[in-house]
Amino acid sequence: MLGFYGWRSGIDIAFEHDGRQYRHTAGHLDDGLLDYIDDQQGVVKDGTGGWYDAGDYGKYLPTASVSVNSMLSAWEQFGDKLESVELPFIPEHEDGVLPDFLSELKWELDWMLKMAYDDGSGRVHHKLNSPNFPQFVLPADDPTTRYFASFSSAATGEFVASMAKAARAFAPYDELTDGYSQKLLEAALVSYAYLTENPENVRYDDSVLRAGAYQKDGVSDRLWAAAELWETLGDDAMLADFENRIGEHTAFVPNFDWDSTAHFGLLTYVLSSREGRDPDIVAQLEASLLDTAEDIVRRQTSTGYGRGFNLYYWGSNGVTARLCMVLQAANLIDPDQRYLNACAAQVAYLYGRNQYNRSQITGSGIDPPLHPHHRPSGADNVDAPYPGLLVGGGVGATTWKDEQGDARSNEVAINWNSALVYALAGLIEGTGTHSLGRGPVPAESCHVRVSSVGYLPELGKLASVQENCELPSNFECDLPESTLSGDTQGSKSLIDDLEDEDTQILASEGRSGSWFAFDDESSGTHSGVRIESAQRRGSSAAVCISGEDFAVWGGGMGFALAQMGSARQPYDASEYTGVSFWAKGSSTEFRVMLVDKYSDPGAGQCASCNDHFYGAFTPSSAWQRFTFAWPDLEQRGFGDAHPNVCPAELRAIQFQWPANEDFELCLDDIAFTTHQGTEQEPVYTAASGGGGCGCRLSARPPAGTPLGLLGLFAMRLTRRRAA
């Protein structure tokens, strides 16, 4: 919470921590200009206050809403403990009007109220910032000019959800706050009315204010808004709005943040004690919630440092903390000490029981970060950084760098910090595991650095495996011998010929899915998936994408092979021998990637996911056909290694472009290949013994059956960032 106070904008900051004095004068007292709102050149609107978003000085509705929601959820569930928590460093502490925890939240909520359009329409500005990030200066020394962004459906929905949820928390204090909860609720209702009357989703105009995009379409936010307003008011129309929107949003995932806010609405709905909920929806959500919690527990108990999430990317420390929201909710539905223990393990991981033997929170824990990507910390004259800030963590299992310039792994952000506040709030007075340490197991043969308070389960997957570590593999893939024969000369089975000119793949042989695009969320742009004239003999249409300037790892397009709602299901392609497609485009090395059970994070099998099997190809301006047999496909080496792709458990096919390239790619007639001749009796590949150091038969093949390509496979365990 001290971290949030240090993030305050528009106020002088002064406090002491660990014998050091921290202070800076109020900055951004002229927030901000409306130049890009209805041509109001030079017009100033009051946007002062609130928290700075991260290591920069922007203020954004998407992260603000997620942050206040996470902390208000802590208040709803653990308020009996939080009410007495004192924050003596905040100026409101002395007046005693509100509990200190709510006083800090009110600082942000007051700013959020200012983000509503002054015309009373209910529209909400998406953000307030400068076109470019400032240098490492203190807030009062920031020379950049700051502007309000245009409204977005996403920001408006997030605003409704935040105001409605906050109204519940502040209602008991209305006599002391001149009816503050009513002010919040009235603002929520005005914006909700706008969303109801304007069903189209509008994105904000990011043509100028590109720094800190947080771009999104608002679909999840409308659902979230309906859930929070219904929980506050009990209105049947709002309940119907939520339940009509829920559609495919009936599955929880462990990793959700500002870009997947439907989960916050789902949690409100599934934990509600109000009457009128659809029992079928409730049952689906409860089952999915418990399944997700069990998945977190399984990972927590089988990984070296108790981390319950197996991916690493920008901000994944925040996701690790937010696992506690799922675990605590599951514990309310079906009380189980294992859920609380798993939450405690996430906190232990963040405070130092990890592969670095270092805390990820400035100012506390074991050997905490000293150089976060945080402008006040870098610009003041105090060696130690501002305390209480959770850094994002490595984008790979061992890539965290305690360097100010490494924004990808060492930036701080309010949406991550708020998740940590929630996690800690649930552990006040020792709820969960009291003793976080377990006896270490010798790991000399694995060259693993053992934390002084850590533990190494004897058969656990370890995030910091470097070399020669013989750990058990979970790879079991039963295949006919012909599948891995390398023979692609048989007939083709079309997955999508694009002739219907839509983004759905052909619904044949049990396949279903639609084309989508994905990217690394850096400053690049792409056209999205589009259907164009193929201009190829025998074909009238193709699927295309183009773009530029992606700086981290690039992006791509692809489709699931068997999609049920929003979830990928396994597809058995073991009767096929490879994949074939026609392509044309820029002279860029693209990759075709096969996502299987062992590389898809949603399948629950991989400790270090997204190392999909791939084949590289470089198109030209003329159409060419590319064919890859299953044995042609390789892994890049940063994640869990396996002998071969598992066609019996495919999830998706993707086509990826690299970083730092202008690109254009068109595809047509994507198909599975088959072998010549007839099917042969099956033989099997099986679990590799000794932790991925080889491959053996799990069943003896019929006499006389050749072993084909089965044999030993070398496996690299180098950990790099998952693309």
Q: Domain for residue 13, yes or no? A: no
Q: Domain for residue 90, yes or no? A: no
Higher per-residue confidence, 257 vs 522: 257
Instruction: Please state, in angstroms and rounded to a whole number, the distance separating the CA atoms of residues 652 and 647.
Output: 10
pLDDT at 673 over 90: yes
Higher per-residue confidence, 690 vs 118: 118
pLDDT at 685 over 50: no
Q: Are residues 458 and 484 in the same domain?
A: no
pLDDT at 366 over 80: yes
444 flagged as catalytic: no
pLDDT score, position 717: 24
> Token match 């994949």: residue?
579
Specify the CATH number for the domain of residue 148: 1.50.10.10
pLDDT at 699 over 50: no
Q: Are residues 212 and 339 in the same domain?
A: no
Q: Are residues 339 and 440 in the same domain?
A: yes
142 flagged as catalytic: no
Q: Domain for residue 92, yes or no? A: no
Q: Domain for residue 122, yes or no? A: yes
Q: Domain for residue 583, yes or no? A: yes
pLDDT at 719 over 80: no
Token pair of 322 as six digits = 């937010």
**Percent helix / strand / coil, the chain, rounded to 5:** 30, 20, 50
Mean pLDDT over residues 610-631, rounded?
94
Q: Are residues 528 and 440 in the same domain?
A: no
Mean pLDDT over residues 459-483, rounded?
55
Query: Which of 411, 496, 596, 669 is labelled catalytic?
Result: 411
SS3 656: strand
Q: Domain for residue 6, yes or no? A: no
Least trusted range by pLDDT, from 209-223, 313-327, 387-401, 432-446: 432-446
**The three-state (H, E, C) secondary structure of 300-329, written as one string:** HHHECCCCCCCCCCCCHHHHHHHHHHHHHH
Q: Are residues 386 and 501 in the same domain?
A: no
pLDDT score, position 606: 66
- Of the pLDDT bands very low, low, confident and very high (cuts 50, 70, 90), residue 435 is very low
pLDDT score, position 638: 64
pLDDT at 168 over 90: yes
Residue among 412, 437, 484, 211 nearest 306 (CA): 437
Q: Are residues 599 and 677 in the same domain?
A: yes
Q: Are residues 456 and 494 in the same domain?
A: no
Domain closes at, from 402, 436, 469: 469
Q: Are residues 491 and 439 in the same domain?
A: no
Mean pLDDT over residues 621-634, rounded?
95
Higher per-residue confidence, 639 vs 554: 554
Share of the chain above pLDDT 70, in %: 85
pLDDT score, position 151: 94
Instruction: Please state, in angstroms and rounded to a whole number, the distance separating the CA atoms of residues 600 and 589.
Output: 23
pLDDT score, position 694: 30
φ and ψ of 691, to 5 deg: 70, 45
pLDDT score, position 674: 94
373 flagged as catalytic: yes
CB half-sphere exposure, 24, CA atoms < 13 A: 24
Q: Are residues 317 and 208 in the same domain?
A: no
Using a 10 angstrom Cβ sphere, with 0-12 exposed, 13-18 middle and 19 or more buried, the burial of residue 355 is buried
Dihedral sign of CA atoms 285, 288, 291, 292 in order: negative
Under DSSP, the state recorded for 620 is -
The domain in which residue 216 lies consists of 28-77+103-250+267-277
pLDDT at 608 over 70: no
Higher per-residue confidence, 485 vs 304: 485
| Whether the Cβ atoms of residue 313 and residue 392 lie closer than 8 Å to each other | no
Dihedral sign of CA atoms 107, 108, 114, 120 in order: negative
| pLDDT tens profile 73-112 | 999 999 988 998 899 999 999 988 999 999 999 999 999 9
Please tell me the total count of domains within the chain. Answer: 3
pLDDT score, position 639: 61
Q: Are residues 199 and 286 in the same domain?
A: no
Query: Which of 402, 403, 476, 661 is labelled catalytic?
Result: 402
Higher per-residue confidence, 580 vs 135: 580
pLDDT score, position 607: 54
Query: Which of 56, 241, 497, 640 is labelled catalytic?
Result: 56
Query: CA angle, 284 as apex, 278 and 290 as ends, to 5°?
Result: 130
Query: Which of 125, 249, 373, 675 is labelled catalytic?
Result: 373
402 flagged as catalytic: yes
Q: Domain for residue 441, yes or no? A: yes
Q: Are residues 272 and 289 in the same domain?
A: no
pLDDT at 451 over 60: no
pLDDT at 707 over 90: no
| pLDDT tens profile 43-53 | 999 999 999 99
C-alpha distances in angstroms, 129 versus 100, 208, 580? 28, 11, 47
Q: Domain for residue 532, yes or no? A: yes
pLDDT score, position 46: 97
pLDDT at 654 over 80: yes
| Whether the Cβ atoms of residue 150 and residue 205 lie closer than 8 Å to each other | yes
Domain closes at, from 469, 502, 519: 469
Specify the CATH number for the domain of residue 603: 2.60.120.430
pLDDT score, position 713: 24
pLDDT at 715 over 50: no
Dihedral sign of CA atoms 375, 419, 427, 103 in order: positive
Q: Are residues 218 and 297 in the same domain?
A: no
| Whether the Cβ atoms of residue 548 and residue 524 lie closer than 8 Å to each other | yes
- Of the pLDDT bands very low, low, confident and very high (cuts 50, 70, 90), residue 134 is confident
Residue among 530, 625, 645 nearest 576 (CA): 645
